[in-house]
Structure 1
Protein backbone atom coordinates (compact mmCIF):
# COMPACT_ATOMS: atom_id res chain seq x y z
CA UNK A 1 0.00 0.00 0.00
CA UNK A 2 1.53 3.29 -1.08
CA UNK A 3 1.19 6.03 1.55
CA UNK A 4 1.72 9.68 0.57
CA UNK A 5 2.79 12.02 3.35
CA UNK A 6 2.15 15.65 2.41
CA UNK A 7 4.15 18.46 4.01
CA UNK A 8 3.26 22.12 3.50
CA UNK A 9 6.12 24.27 4.72
CA UNK A 10 7.41 27.82 4.63
CA UNK A 11 10.70 28.70 6.33
CA UNK A 12 10.82 25.49 8.34
CA UNK A 13 14.57 24.82 8.29
CA UNK A 14 14.86 24.88 12.09
CA UNK A 15 12.54 21.92 12.69
CA UNK A 16 12.58 20.02 9.39
CA UNK A 17 15.57 17.78 10.23
CA UNK A 18 13.68 16.04 13.07
CA UNK A 19 10.59 15.59 10.89
CA UNK A 20 12.65 14.16 8.02
CA UNK A 21 14.47 11.80 10.40
CA UNK A 22 11.11 10.43 11.58
CA UNK A 23 10.19 9.65 7.96
CA UNK A 24 13.54 8.00 7.22
CA UNK A 25 13.02 5.71 10.23
CA UNK A 26 9.65 4.35 9.09
CA UNK A 27 9.48 0.58 8.71
CA UNK A 28 6.82 0.97 6.01
CA UNK A 29 8.78 1.06 2.77
CA UNK A 30 6.23 2.19 0.17
CA UNK A 31 6.29 5.84 1.17
CA UNK A 32 5.99 8.98 -0.94
CA UNK A 33 6.90 12.36 0.56
CA UNK A 34 5.16 15.25 -1.20
CA UNK A 35 6.50 18.65 -0.13
CA UNK A 36 4.80 21.93 -1.03
CA UNK A 37 7.13 24.77 -0.11
CA UNK A 38 5.78 28.30 0.07
CA UNK A 39 8.80 30.09 -1.44
CA UNK A 40 10.97 29.74 1.68
CA UNK A 41 13.89 32.09 2.20
CA UNK A 42 15.68 30.37 5.13
CA UNK A 43 17.46 27.51 3.40
CA UNK A 44 14.50 25.13 3.60
CA UNK A 45 14.87 24.05 -0.04
CA UNK A 46 18.58 23.25 0.28
CA UNK A 47 17.92 21.28 3.45
CA UNK A 48 15.12 19.28 1.82
CA UNK A 49 17.32 18.43 -1.18
CA UNK A 50 20.13 17.26 1.12
CA UNK A 51 18.13 15.36 3.73
CA UNK A 52 14.84 14.49 2.03
CA UNK A 53 13.64 11.00 1.16
CA UNK A 54 14.68 9.49 -2.14
CA UNK A 55 12.15 10.39 -4.81
CA UNK A 56 10.70 13.25 -2.77
CA UNK A 57 8.15 15.22 -4.83
CA UNK A 58 9.24 18.80 -4.11
CA UNK A 59 7.68 22.00 -5.45
CA UNK A 60 8.34 25.55 -4.29
CA UNK A 61 5.93 28.36 -5.15
CA UNK A 62 4.22 31.26 -3.43
CA UNK A 63 0.77 30.34 -2.16
CA UNK A 64 -2.27 31.89 -0.52
CA UNK A 65 -1.95 30.13 2.83
CA UNK A 66 -1.53 26.77 4.52
CA UNK A 67 -4.70 25.13 3.15
CA UNK A 68 -3.95 26.18 -0.41
CA UNK A 69 -0.51 24.61 -0.04
CA UNK A 70 -1.93 21.42 1.50
CA UNK A 71 -4.46 21.12 -1.32
CA UNK A 72 -1.71 21.51 -3.91
CA UNK A 73 0.27 18.74 -2.22
CA UNK A 74 -2.74 16.41 -2.06
CA UNK A 75 -3.40 16.94 -5.76
CA UNK A 76 0.17 15.88 -6.53
CA UNK A 77 0.12 12.84 -4.25
CA UNK A 78 -0.04 9.45 -5.95
CA UNK A 79 -0.52 7.15 -2.95
CA UNK A 80 -3.61 5.11 -2.13
CA UNK A 81 -3.58 6.71 1.33
CA UNK A 82 -2.77 10.34 2.16
CA UNK A 83 -1.79 11.98 5.45
CA UNK A 84 -0.19 15.26 6.50
CA UNK A 85 3.02 15.91 8.42
CA UNK A 86 3.99 19.50 9.13
CA UNK A 87 7.53 20.79 9.57
CA UNK A 88 7.04 21.15 13.35
CA UNK A 89 5.77 17.58 13.78
CA UNK A 90 7.38 14.14 13.91
CA UNK A 91 6.03 10.62 13.56
CA UNK A 92 6.26 9.23 17.07
CA UNK A 93 7.97 5.91 16.27
CA UNK A 94 9.21 3.81 13.38
CA UNK A 95 6.00 1.79 13.00
CA UNK A 96 3.42 4.57 12.67
CA UNK A 97 2.85 4.09 8.95
CA UNK A 98 3.00 0.30 9.28
CA UNK A 99 0.08 0.53 11.72
CA UNK A 100 -1.79 2.73 9.25
CA UNK A 101 -1.35 0.16 6.52
CA UNK A 102 -2.38 -2.71 8.80
CA UNK A 103 -5.61 -0.96 9.84
CA UNK A 104 -6.48 -0.12 6.24
CA UNK A 105 -6.30 -3.74 5.16
CA UNK A 106 -9.98 -3.69 6.16
CA UNK A 107 -11.78 -2.52 2.99
CA UNK A 108 -14.66 -1.19 5.09
CA UNK A 109 -12.42 1.44 6.67
CA UNK A 110 -11.89 4.79 4.91
CA UNK A 111 -9.24 6.18 7.21
CA UNK A 112 -7.46 6.00 10.54
CA UNK A 113 -6.40 8.29 13.37
CA UNK A 114 -4.56 7.89 16.66
CA UNK A 115 -3.27 9.78 19.67
CA UNK A 116 -1.25 13.00 19.64
CA UNK A 117 1.29 14.57 21.99
CA UNK A 118 2.06 18.27 22.18
CA UNK A 119 5.69 18.83 23.17
CA UNK A 120 7.65 21.90 24.30
CA UNK A 121 8.96 23.91 21.37
CA UNK A 122 12.43 24.27 22.88
CA UNK A 123 12.55 20.73 24.34
CA UNK A 124 10.66 18.13 22.27
CA UNK A 125 11.35 15.48 24.92
CA UNK A 126 9.00 17.29 27.32
CA UNK A 127 5.34 16.38 26.78
CA UNK A 128 2.91 19.23 27.55
CA UNK A 129 -0.39 17.66 26.47
CA UNK A 130 -1.36 14.07 25.78
CA UNK A 131 -4.42 13.79 23.55
CA UNK A 132 -5.86 10.33 23.90
CA UNK A 133 -8.47 10.46 21.15
CA UNK A 134 -10.48 7.31 21.84
CA UNK A 135 -12.89 5.62 19.46
CA UNK A 136 -15.58 7.59 17.66
CA UNK A 137 -19.07 7.30 19.14
CA UNK A 138 -22.47 8.54 17.91
CA UNK A 139 -23.13 12.08 19.10
CA UNK A 140 -19.46 12.78 19.74
CA UNK A 141 -19.24 15.60 17.18
CA UNK A 142 -22.03 17.51 18.96
CA UNK A 143 -19.99 17.31 22.18
CA UNK A 144 -16.99 18.86 20.44
CA UNK A 145 -15.05 15.66 19.80
CA UNK A 146 -12.75 15.46 16.82
CA UNK A 147 -9.91 13.16 15.78
CA UNK A 148 -6.44 14.75 16.07
CA UNK A 149 -5.95 16.04 12.56
CA UNK A 150 -2.16 15.47 12.37
CA UNK A 151 -2.79 11.75 12.94
CA UNK A 152 -5.46 11.42 10.24
CA UNK A 153 -4.74 9.23 7.21
CA UNK A 154 -7.45 8.85 4.55
CA UNK A 155 -7.88 6.84 1.39
CA UNK A 156 -7.47 9.19 -1.57
CA UNK A 157 -11.06 8.57 -2.70
CA UNK A 158 -12.28 10.41 0.42
CA UNK A 159 -10.85 13.63 -1.04
CA UNK A 160 -12.27 12.77 -4.45
CA UNK A 161 -15.83 12.48 -3.14
CA UNK A 162 -15.73 15.00 -0.28
CA UNK A 163 -13.37 17.64 -1.66
CA UNK A 164 -10.19 19.23 -0.34
CA UNK A 165 -9.73 21.82 2.42
CA UNK A 166 -11.72 25.07 2.25
CA UNK A 167 -9.20 27.86 1.71
CA UNK A 168 -11.57 30.52 3.07
CA UNK A 169 -10.48 29.34 6.53
CA UNK A 170 -7.13 30.58 7.79
CA UNK A 171 -6.81 28.35 10.90
CA UNK A 172 -9.74 25.93 11.16
CA UNK A 173 -9.81 24.45 7.67
CA UNK A 174 -8.74 21.12 9.16
CA UNK A 175 -11.69 21.08 11.59
CA UNK A 176 -14.09 22.07 8.82
CA UNK A 177 -12.66 19.33 6.63
CA UNK A 178 -12.99 16.65 9.29
CA UNK A 179 -16.60 17.61 10.01
CA UNK A 180 -17.33 17.40 6.27
CA UNK A 181 -15.65 14.00 6.01
CA UNK A 182 -17.59 12.61 8.98
CA UNK A 183 -20.99 14.10 8.08
CA UNK A 184 -21.40 14.65 4.34
CA UNK A 185 -19.00 11.87 3.26
CA UNK A 186 -19.89 9.46 6.10
CA UNK A 187 -16.24 8.44 6.38
CA UNK A 188 -15.61 5.31 8.46
CA UNK A 189 -12.57 5.78 10.69
CA UNK A 190 -10.60 3.25 12.74
CA UNK A 191 -8.84 4.32 15.93
CA UNK A 192 -5.21 3.29 16.44
CA UNK A 193 -4.58 3.41 20.23
CA UNK A 194 -0.98 4.63 19.95
CA UNK A 195 0.70 8.03 19.88
CA UNK A 196 1.18 8.62 16.17
CA UNK A 197 2.49 12.20 16.08
CA UNK A 198 4.34 14.59 18.36
CA UNK A 199 3.64 18.26 17.65
CA UNK A 200 5.60 21.24 18.92
CA UNK A 201 3.59 23.85 20.77
CA UNK A 202 3.31 27.33 19.31
CA UNK A 203 1.56 26.63 16.02
CA UNK A 204 -0.73 28.98 14.09
CA UNK A 205 -3.78 28.26 16.25
CA UNK A 206 -2.24 28.93 19.65
CA UNK A 207 0.65 31.35 19.20
CA UNK A 208 -1.34 34.40 20.40
CA UNK A 209 -4.62 35.34 22.09
CA UNK A 210 -5.84 36.99 18.87
CA UNK A 211 -5.20 33.76 16.96
CA UNK A 212 -7.10 31.74 19.55
CA UNK A 213 -10.09 34.07 19.23
CA UNK A 214 -9.98 33.81 15.46
CA UNK A 215 -9.78 30.03 15.69
CA UNK A 216 -12.84 29.90 17.95
CA UNK A 217 -14.80 32.02 15.46
CA UNK A 218 -13.76 29.78 12.59
CA UNK A 219 -14.54 26.64 14.63
CA UNK A 220 -18.04 27.97 15.33
CA UNK A 221 -18.55 28.72 11.65
CA UNK A 222 -17.61 25.12 10.79
CA UNK A 223 -19.87 23.71 13.53
CA UNK A 224 -22.88 25.62 12.22
CA UNK A 225 -22.03 24.94 8.59
CA UNK A 226 -22.13 21.18 9.11
CA UNK A 227 -25.06 21.16 11.51
CA UNK A 228 -23.33 19.37 14.37
CA UNK A 229 -24.26 21.78 17.16
CA UNK A 230 -23.80 25.33 18.39
CA UNK A 231 -22.13 27.25 21.22
CA UNK A 232 -22.25 24.19 23.48
CA UNK A 233 -20.29 22.21 20.90
CA UNK A 234 -17.63 24.91 20.73
CA UNK A 235 -17.40 25.03 24.52
CA UNK A 236 -17.13 21.24 24.70
CA UNK A 237 -14.38 21.26 22.10
CA UNK A 238 -12.33 23.80 24.05
CA UNK A 239 -12.97 22.31 27.50
CA UNK A 240 -12.01 18.84 26.32
CA UNK A 241 -8.41 20.06 26.04
CA UNK A 242 -8.01 20.68 29.78
CA UNK A 243 -7.64 17.02 30.89
CA UNK A 244 -4.96 16.54 28.24
CA UNK A 245 -2.57 18.59 30.35
CA UNK A 246 -2.53 16.02 33.15
CA UNK A 247 -3.38 12.85 31.22
CA UNK A 248 -1.09 9.92 31.94
CA UNK A 249 0.56 8.30 28.95
Structure 2
Protein backbone atom coordinates (compact mmCIF):
# COMPACT_ATOMS: atom_id res chain seq x y z
CA UNK A 1 0.00 0.00 0.00
CA UNK A 2 1.52 3.30 -1.09
CA UNK A 3 0.69 6.32 1.07
CA UNK A 4 0.88 9.86 -0.33
CA UNK A 5 1.39 12.69 2.16
CA UNK A 6 0.47 16.08 0.68
CA UNK A 7 1.99 19.29 2.04
CA UNK A 8 0.75 22.67 0.83
CA UNK A 9 3.22 25.40 1.75
CA UNK A 10 3.78 29.11 1.22
CA UNK A 11 6.53 31.10 2.92
CA UNK A 12 7.13 28.70 5.82
CA UNK A 13 10.91 28.51 5.90
CA UNK A 14 10.88 28.56 9.71
CA UNK A 15 8.79 25.39 10.12
CA UNK A 16 8.88 23.43 6.87
CA UNK A 17 12.09 21.52 7.67
CA UNK A 18 10.52 19.99 10.79
CA UNK A 19 7.39 19.01 8.90
CA UNK A 20 9.40 17.40 6.10
CA UNK A 21 11.69 15.69 8.56
CA UNK A 22 8.80 14.09 10.40
CA UNK A 23 7.58 12.56 7.12
CA UNK A 24 11.06 11.39 6.13
CA UNK A 25 11.54 9.73 9.51
CA UNK A 26 8.47 7.51 9.19
CA UNK A 27 9.35 3.83 9.43
CA UNK A 28 6.77 2.84 6.82
CA UNK A 29 8.61 2.42 3.52
CA UNK A 30 5.99 3.01 0.83
CA UNK A 31 5.61 6.77 1.29
CA UNK A 32 5.44 9.53 -1.31
CA UNK A 33 5.69 13.12 -0.05
CA UNK A 34 3.97 15.51 -2.47
CA UNK A 35 4.96 19.11 -1.74
CA UNK A 36 2.89 21.84 -3.36
CA UNK A 37 4.51 25.25 -2.92
CA UNK A 38 2.56 28.38 -3.82
CA UNK A 39 5.55 30.34 -5.12
CA UNK A 40 7.30 31.12 -1.84
CA UNK A 41 9.62 34.12 -1.72
CA UNK A 42 11.29 33.58 1.68
CA UNK A 43 13.69 30.79 0.74
CA UNK A 44 11.26 27.95 1.48
CA UNK A 45 11.84 26.30 -1.92
CA UNK A 46 15.62 26.54 -1.59
CA UNK A 47 15.47 24.93 1.84
CA UNK A 48 13.26 22.11 0.56
CA UNK A 49 15.73 21.51 -2.27
CA UNK A 50 18.60 21.32 0.24
CA UNK A 51 16.95 18.60 2.34
CA UNK A 52 15.16 16.80 -0.47
CA UNK A 53 15.21 13.01 -0.69
CA UNK A 54 13.83 10.36 -3.00
CA UNK A 55 10.47 10.35 -1.21
CA UNK A 56 9.76 14.00 -2.03
CA UNK A 57 8.13 15.45 -5.16
CA UNK A 58 8.16 19.27 -5.22
CA UNK A 59 6.23 21.64 -7.46
CA UNK A 60 6.25 25.41 -6.99
CA UNK A 61 3.59 27.47 -8.77
CA UNK A 62 1.01 30.17 -7.94
CA UNK A 63 -2.28 28.93 -6.50
CA UNK A 64 -5.56 30.33 -5.22
CA UNK A 65 -5.08 29.57 -1.54
CA UNK A 66 -4.42 26.57 0.66
CA UNK A 67 -7.32 24.40 -0.51
CA UNK A 68 -6.49 24.96 -4.16
CA UNK A 69 -2.89 23.99 -3.35
CA UNK A 70 -4.05 20.86 -1.50
CA UNK A 71 -6.24 19.90 -4.46
CA UNK A 72 -3.30 20.30 -6.81
CA UNK A 73 -1.21 18.09 -4.55
CA UNK A 74 -3.89 15.40 -4.39
CA UNK A 75 -4.15 15.38 -8.17
CA UNK A 76 -0.38 14.84 -8.38
CA UNK A 77 -0.39 12.11 -5.74
CA UNK A 78 0.13 8.53 -6.89
CA UNK A 79 -0.63 6.70 -3.66
CA UNK A 80 -3.45 4.31 -2.82
CA UNK A 81 -4.09 6.33 0.35
CA UNK A 82 -3.79 10.11 0.71
CA UNK A 83 -3.40 12.33 3.78
CA UNK A 84 -2.03 15.76 4.67
CA UNK A 85 0.92 17.19 6.55
CA UNK A 86 0.52 20.93 7.01
CA UNK A 87 3.69 22.97 6.82
CA UNK A 88 3.48 23.94 10.53
CA UNK A 89 2.73 20.42 11.79
CA UNK A 90 4.64 17.21 12.45
CA UNK A 91 3.94 13.56 13.13
CA UNK A 92 3.81 12.62 16.81
CA UNK A 93 6.10 9.61 16.32
CA UNK A 94 7.79 7.54 13.63
CA UNK A 95 5.16 4.78 13.34
CA UNK A 96 2.11 6.88 12.44
CA UNK A 97 1.97 5.76 8.81
CA UNK A 98 2.64 2.15 9.82
CA UNK A 99 -0.50 2.34 11.97
CA UNK A 100 -2.43 3.87 9.04
CA UNK A 101 -1.39 1.05 6.72
CA UNK A 102 -2.21 -1.62 9.29
CA UNK A 103 -5.67 -0.17 9.92
CA UNK A 104 -6.40 0.09 6.20
CA UNK A 105 -5.49 -3.54 5.65
CA UNK A 106 -9.19 -3.92 6.51
CA UNK A 107 -10.86 -3.59 3.07
CA UNK A 108 -14.14 -2.48 4.66
CA UNK A 109 -12.64 0.85 5.71
CA UNK A 110 -12.51 3.88 3.43
CA UNK A 111 -10.15 5.78 5.69
CA UNK A 112 -8.78 6.27 9.19
CA UNK A 113 -8.17 9.08 11.68
CA UNK A 114 -6.70 9.47 15.14
CA UNK A 115 -6.03 12.03 17.85
CA UNK A 116 -4.16 15.33 17.75
CA UNK A 117 -2.24 17.56 20.14
CA UNK A 118 -2.14 21.34 19.74
CA UNK A 119 1.35 22.42 20.75
CA UNK A 120 3.11 25.72 21.41
CA UNK A 121 4.45 27.40 18.28
CA UNK A 122 7.92 27.79 19.79
CA UNK A 123 8.05 24.47 21.69
CA UNK A 124 6.37 21.44 20.13
CA UNK A 125 6.89 19.43 23.32
CA UNK A 126 4.49 21.72 25.23
CA UNK A 127 0.86 20.66 24.76
CA UNK A 128 -1.78 23.40 24.78
CA UNK A 129 -4.88 21.39 23.85
CA UNK A 130 -5.60 17.69 23.49
CA UNK A 131 -8.09 16.65 20.78
CA UNK A 132 -9.26 13.14 21.63
CA UNK A 133 -11.77 12.39 18.91
CA UNK A 134 -13.06 8.94 19.88
CA UNK A 135 -14.82 6.38 17.65
CA UNK A 136 -17.04 7.66 14.86
CA UNK A 137 -20.79 7.18 14.60
CA UNK A 138 -23.17 8.84 12.15
CA UNK A 139 -25.24 10.62 14.80
CA UNK A 140 -22.18 12.53 16.05
CA UNK A 141 -22.14 14.75 12.93
CA UNK A 142 -25.29 16.59 14.01
CA UNK A 143 -23.62 17.20 17.39
CA UNK A 144 -20.78 19.13 15.76
CA UNK A 145 -18.25 16.29 15.71
CA UNK A 146 -15.57 15.92 13.10
CA UNK A 147 -12.27 14.00 13.06
CA UNK A 148 -9.05 16.00 13.46
CA UNK A 149 -8.49 16.81 9.82
CA UNK A 150 -4.65 16.55 9.84
CA UNK A 151 -4.96 12.94 11.06
CA UNK A 152 -7.35 11.79 8.31
CA UNK A 153 -6.08 9.35 5.65
CA UNK A 154 -8.48 8.35 2.88
CA UNK A 155 -8.35 5.89 0.05
CA UNK A 156 -7.98 7.59 -3.31
CA UNK A 157 -11.42 6.30 -4.29
CA UNK A 158 -13.06 8.66 -1.77
CA UNK A 159 -11.75 11.72 -3.62
CA UNK A 160 -12.68 10.17 -6.98
CA UNK A 161 -16.26 9.53 -5.84
CA UNK A 162 -17.04 12.58 -3.72
CA UNK A 163 -14.69 15.27 -4.97
CA UNK A 164 -11.84 17.35 -3.63
CA UNK A 165 -11.98 20.44 -1.41
CA UNK A 166 -14.50 23.13 -2.35
CA UNK A 167 -12.36 26.23 -2.87
CA UNK A 168 -15.33 28.57 -2.44
CA UNK A 169 -14.67 27.97 1.25
CA UNK A 170 -11.59 29.93 2.31
CA UNK A 171 -11.30 28.58 5.87
CA UNK A 172 -13.72 25.68 6.36
CA UNK A 173 -13.31 23.54 3.23
CA UNK A 174 -11.91 20.74 5.40
CA UNK A 175 -15.08 20.69 7.52
CA UNK A 176 -17.27 20.76 4.41
CA UNK A 177 -15.30 17.87 2.90
CA UNK A 178 -15.58 15.75 6.03
CA UNK A 179 -19.33 16.33 6.22
CA UNK A 180 -19.65 15.50 2.52
CA UNK A 181 -17.63 12.30 2.80
CA UNK A 182 -19.19 11.12 6.06
CA UNK A 183 -22.72 12.46 5.64
CA UNK A 184 -23.61 12.22 1.97
CA UNK A 185 -20.98 9.62 1.12
CA UNK A 186 -21.40 7.62 4.34
CA UNK A 187 -17.83 6.41 4.06
CA UNK A 188 -16.51 4.11 6.79
CA UNK A 189 -13.71 5.44 8.96
CA UNK A 190 -11.59 3.51 11.41
CA UNK A 191 -10.31 5.15 14.59
CA UNK A 192 -6.67 4.88 15.68
CA UNK A 193 -6.68 5.68 19.44
CA UNK A 194 -3.30 7.38 19.40
CA UNK A 195 -1.91 10.89 18.93
CA UNK A 196 -0.90 11.00 15.28
CA UNK A 197 -0.08 14.68 14.71
CA UNK A 198 1.23 17.67 16.64
CA UNK A 199 -0.27 20.90 15.37
CA UNK A 200 1.15 24.32 16.25
CA UNK A 201 -1.35 26.78 17.71
CA UNK A 202 -1.98 30.04 15.88
CA UNK A 203 -3.60 28.68 12.73
CA UNK A 204 -4.98 30.88 9.97
CA UNK A 205 -8.63 30.52 11.06
CA UNK A 206 -7.98 31.97 14.55
CA UNK A 207 -5.65 34.88 13.77
CA UNK A 208 -8.29 37.59 14.16
CA UNK A 209 -11.88 38.15 15.24
CA UNK A 210 -12.84 38.65 11.61
CA UNK A 211 -11.44 35.25 10.64
CA UNK A 212 -13.12 33.56 13.60
CA UNK A 213 -16.46 35.01 12.51
CA UNK A 214 -15.83 34.04 8.90
CA UNK A 215 -15.01 30.50 9.94
CA UNK A 216 -18.26 30.28 11.92
CA UNK A 217 -20.23 31.49 8.89
CA UNK A 218 -18.48 28.97 6.65
CA UNK A 219 -18.99 26.17 9.20
CA UNK A 220 -22.71 26.97 9.30
CA UNK A 221 -22.89 26.97 5.52
CA UNK A 222 -21.19 23.57 5.42
CA UNK A 223 -23.57 22.19 8.05
CA UNK A 224 -26.64 23.37 6.15
CA UNK A 225 -25.45 22.43 2.66
CA UNK A 226 -24.61 18.90 3.81
CA UNK A 227 -27.86 18.50 5.70
CA UNK A 228 -26.45 17.55 9.10
CA UNK A 229 -28.05 20.20 11.33
CA UNK A 230 -28.30 23.91 12.02
CA UNK A 231 -27.28 26.49 14.61
CA UNK A 232 -27.36 23.89 17.38
CA UNK A 233 -24.77 21.83 15.52
CA UNK A 234 -22.54 24.88 15.11
CA UNK A 235 -22.86 25.74 18.80
CA UNK A 236 -21.97 22.19 19.86
CA UNK A 237 -19.00 22.16 17.48
CA UNK A 238 -17.57 25.29 19.07
CA UNK A 239 -18.37 24.30 22.66
CA UNK A 240 -16.72 20.90 22.22
CA UNK A 241 -13.34 22.61 21.96
CA UNK A 242 -13.48 23.75 25.60
CA UNK A 243 -12.84 20.25 26.99
CA UNK A 244 -9.65 20.01 24.93
CA UNK A 245 -7.97 22.44 27.35
CA UNK A 246 -8.51 20.15 30.36
Shift of 1:151: 0.2
Q: CA deviation at 1:21?
A: 1.5
Are 1:6 and 2:27 counterparts? no
Q: Are the aligned partners of 2:205 and 2:212 in contact in 1 as well (CA < 8 Å)?
A: yes
- Name the stretch that deviates more: 192-201 or 203-212: 203-212
Q: Match for residue 166 of structure 2?
A: 166
Report the RMSD for the aligned CA atoms in angstroms. Answer: 0.7
Deviation at residue 220 of structure 1 after TM alignment = 0.2
- In 1, Cα distance between equivalents of 2:149 and 2:179: 11
User: Matched residue of 2:100: which SS?
Assistant: helix
Between 207-216 and 31-40, the greater mean CA deviation after superposition: 207-216
Which deviates further from its counterpart, 110-119 or 204-213?
204-213
In the alignment, which residue of structure 2 is the partner of 1:129?
129
How far is the alpha carbon of 1:122 from its aligned partner? 1.6
Whole-angstrom distance in 1 between the partners of 2:216 and 2:120: 23
Q: Is the 8 A contact 2:31 2:55 kept in 1?
A: no
Give structure 2 stretches of 5+ with no counterpart: none
> SS where residue 139 of structure 1 aligns?
helix
**After the TM superposition, which segments of 4 or more aligned residues of structure 1 sit over 2 Å from their partners?**
none
- Counterpart residue number, 2:17: 17
Size of the aligned set, in residue pairs, is 246
| Residues 18 and 90 in structure 1, CA contact (< 8 A), matched pair in contact too | yes
Counterpart of 1:116 in structure 2 is 116
Shift of 1:55: 4.1
Equivalent residue, structure 2, for 1:204: 204
Partners of 1:200 and 1:231 in 2: CA distance: 29
Report if the CA contact (8 A) 1:33-1:53 is conserved: no
Distance between the aligned counterparts of 1:199 and 1:238, measured in 2?
18
Following the alignment from structure 1 to structure 2, what is the Cα–Cα distance between the partners of residues 58 and 22?
Answer: 16
Deviations 1:27-84 (A, max 9, x none): 1011000011000001111111111331411110111111100000000000000000
Q: Does 1:225 align with 2:231?
A: no
**Scaled by the length of structure 2, what TM-score is found?**
0.99
**Contact 2:88–2:199 (Cα < 8 Å) also in 1:** yes
Match of 1:40 in 2: 40
Shift of 1:138: 3.1
Listed as ranges, the gaps of 5+ residues in structure 1 are none
Distance 2:126 2:238 in 1: 23
TM-score by length of 1: 0.97
Write the mapping of 1:117-196 to structure 2, written as runs, cut at 5 A.
117-196=117-196
Q: Which string of whole-angstrom CA distances, capped at 9 and with x for unpartnered residues, describes residues 181-229 of structure 1?
A: 0012111000000000000011111111111111000000000000100
